[in-house]
Amino acid sequence: MQVTSEAVSGVARRLNVSVPTSRVNEQFEARLKRTAKTVKINGFRPGKVPLNVVRREYGAGIYQDVVNDVIRDTVFEAIQQEKINAVGMPNIEKVENTDDALVYEATVEIYPEVDVKFKKLEVERKATEINDKDVDTMLENLQKQRQGWVETKGMAKKDMQVTFDFEGSIDGEKFEGGSSEDFKLVLGSGRMIPGFEDGIIGMKKGEEKVIDVTFPEDYQAENLAGKQAQFNIKVKQVEKPKLPEIDAEFLQIFGIAEEEGVDKLKADVRKNMEREVKNGLRNQVKGAVFDALVAANDVEVPASMLAQEVDRQRQQMIQQFTQQFGAQGAGAFDSSMLPDDLFKEQAEKSVKLGILVSKILADAKIEVDPARVDAYIEDMASSYEDPAEVIEYFKTDKQQRSQIEAVVLEDQVVDHILAEAKVTDKAVSYEELLKEQQARQQG
C-alpha cells in the first residue's frame, strides 16, 4: 500500500491511498467462495452452486462490499502509517479502480498543533475577607428565609405582603384570567406586569381604587400583548414581615443546642461563608486565567470536535431540563428547539480551552497531585453531617474520584500559568464576589 499526504488546512490532512489490486481480488475471491457455501439458487443444492454462477449472480455486490471494507481498513492503516493524530471519521472521496490498484482520497481532521502563549498573561485575581457585618447580613438572610407576617393598619410598602381582590378589563370588557380573589402578593417581587405593584403601594386595608397598566409587547398571551388595561383593586389585608427570634427553636433548625447560643451559629455561618469564598475565589481566578489564555492564543477548531462539544452541551441542557421538570416534561421536549447556534460560541471556546490546557499539561508534564485531590475531597466533605462517609465514598468510587481529579488538574494548570502571569490583585466585598459568580454561571 502506498500513501502520500498533504496539508489541507491547519486542522486537516488529505491522504492519497493506493491499494494493490491483488489485495482486493484476494478478499473478493475468498468472500465469493464463502458465499457459494451458503447461497441458495434454484436448481442447485445448498453448498453446491458453481463458483461461476455465484460470480455472475452476486459478484458485483460482493465486489463493492469488499472495496468498502478494504477502504475502511486501509484508511486507518494509512493514518497510522503517516502518524496522524486524527479526530473524527475520515471523509472518503474520488474512489477509482485501475488495473493495478484501488485508489482513493481521504480527508481527515487532525488534532491542532499549537504553541501555547501564556507567559505574562494579564490576570486580575480577586481577594475577599469575611467581616462581622457580612456574617450579620447572612444571619439576617437566614431569618428572612423563615420570616412570618404580621398585619398592619398602615400603608402598603415594598416588601410587605398584600391580600386583595382584583378585576381587570380592556375597553370596559373583562378578559379571561384578569380577575382573582384573596390574591397574595409581596410588593417588589416582580410577579405582576410593570406598574401593577406600584399601583398598590400606598393603599391601606379596606381601600379600593382603579389602576391603569399596559401589558408588555412580548406578553405570553398574544390577545393582551401591548394593550392598556384597567384593574379594580380592593385591599383586604396588609402585612409586614416579621423576622423570627434567634431563640432555641431557631437554633435547633441548624442543629445547635440552646446552650451553645448565637455565637455557635455565627461561627458556623462564618465557616460556611469562608468555604464559599474560597471556592468562589478559586473559580474566579480560574475563569480569569482561562479567558486570558483563550484570548491570547489563536486556535483553529476542527469541525468534528466542535460538533461533539455542541452535542454534549445540548444533552447537558436536556438533562438539566429533565431534572427540573421530570421525565414527563422531558418527554415533551424536542431537541430541535435547541439549534447548534445556541451553543456554538460557548462550545468553540470550550474546545479551544481543552486543546490549550492539554498542550500545557503535556509540555509541562503536569500530573494530578494525589495530596491535593485528598485535600479537595476533605474540604468538600467538611460541610456534610458525616464527613468520613463522604470522604470514603469519593476515595473508593473511581468515577467520582476521577471527576475531582479533573478539577484539581485544572487548578494545577491555573497555578502553573499564574506563576508566569502578570497578576493584579483586587479586593472585593463578599457580596460583589457572589454577584460575579452568579453572572459567570448564568453566562
Average pLDDT over residues 228-246: 95
Give the per-residue pLDDT at 321.
Answer: 76
Q: What's the mean per-residue pLDDT of the chain?
A: 90
Distance CA 87, CA 13 (A): 11
Confidence of residue 194 (pLDDT cuts 50, 70, 90): very high
Give the per-residue pLDDT at 334.
Answer: 66
Average pLDDT over residues 69-88: 90
Write the secondary structure of 17-60 as one string of H (helix), E (strand) and C (coil). Answer: EEEEHHHHHHHHHHHHHHHHHHCCCCCCCCCCCCHHHHHHHHHH
Cell numbers linked to 391: 470522604
pLDDT (tens digit per residue) in 358-381: 999 999 999 999 999 999 999 888
Give the per-residue pLDDT at 327.
Answer: 56
The neighbour count for residue 315, using CB atoms within 10 Å, is: 12
Cell numbers linked to 280: 468562589
Give the per-residue pLDDT at 329.
Answer: 54
Phi then psi for residue 368, to 5 deg, are: -60, 135
pLDDT (tens digit per residue) in 405-417: 999 999 999 999 9
Q: State percent of the chain over pLDDT 70.
A: 96
pLDDT (tens digit per residue) in 133-183: 999 999 999 999 999 999 999 999 999 999 999 999 999 999 998 999 999
CA 179 to chain centroid, in Å, comes to 40
Average pLDDT over residues 96-100: 87
Distance CA 261, CA 270 (A): 15
Strand order in the sheet with 101-110: 2-9, 12-20, 101-110, 86-97
Distance CA 271, CA 330 (A): 39
Distance CA 57, CA 47 (A): 15
Give the per-residue pLDDT at 325.
Answer: 65
Distances (CA, A) of 210 to 44, 192, 206, 237: 96, 16, 14, 17
* pLDDT above 70 (res 51): yes
Confidence of residue 128 (pLDDT cuts 50, 70, 90): very high
| Rg of the chain taking only CA atoms, in angstroms | 34
Write the secondary structure of 168-191 as one string of H (helix), E (strand) and C (coil). Answer: EEECCEEEEEEEEEEEEEECCCCC
The upper half-sphere exposure of residue 204, i.e. CA atoms within 13 Å in the direction of its Cβ, equals 4
* pLDDT above 60 (res 332): no
pLDDT (tens digit per residue) in 375-394: 999 988 888 888 899 899 98
* 373 closest CA partner among 417, 415, 406: 406
Residue 158, judged by CB atoms within 10 A of its CB (0-12, 13-18, 19+), counts as: exposed
- Of the two residues 438 and 2, the one the predictor is more confident about is 2
Distance CA 236, CA 206 (A): 6
Confidence of residue 9 (pLDDT cuts 50, 70, 90): confident
Rounded to two decimals, the pTM is: 0.72
Q: Which of 245-254, 301-310, 320-329 has the lowest mean pLDDT?
A: 320-329
Distances (CA, A) of 226 to 95, 192, 213, 232, 391: 62, 15, 10, 19, 56
pLDDT (tens digit per residue) in 239-295: 999 999 999 999 998 889 889 999 999 999 999 999 889 988 999 999 999 999 999
Number of helices (H), then strands (E), in the chain: 12, 11
